[in-house]
Amino acid sequence: MESRASLKYARISARKVKIVIDLIRGKSVDEALAILKYTPKAASPLVEKVLKSAIANAENNFHMDRSKLYVAEIYANQGPTMKRIRAATQGRANRIRKRTSHIEVVLKERD
């Protein structure tokens, strides 16, 4: 039995999210939430929100025990990149890439 939650099109680079999700992979949900709360990264609140959603899904939809839950899988894939243009000197234009990511969390119960 597993519980899933995902956040699509988050306006943060997947590279920045991966730094945060590596900290909580394999941890119990309470420990993971504590780590996220005190991690000073821009991705922390986003990952925390997805994790809380996965916990709520596990408790309400699958009647799983919160004390046994742990982060079985967590990954951040690259989403579509929004391309913007910024004026540069001598009539040129520079490309700005606003990257997005898809964050996926899978929780399972320990035996």
Q: What is the pLDDT of residues 60-111, one digit of tens each?
A: 999 999 999 999 999 999 999 999 999 999 999 999 999 999 999 999 999 8
pLDDT at 1: 87
pLDDT band per the 50, 70, 90 thresholds, residue 3: very high
Residues in the chain: 111
Do the Cβ atoms of 54 and 5 come closer than 8 Å?
Answer: yes
Average pLDDT, the chain: 95
Give, as one character, the DSSP assignment of residue 23: H
47: nearest Cα among 62, 35, 57: 35
What CATH topology corresponds to 2-109?
Answer: Ribosomal Protein L22; Chain A (3.90.470)
Domain boundaries, the chain: 2-109
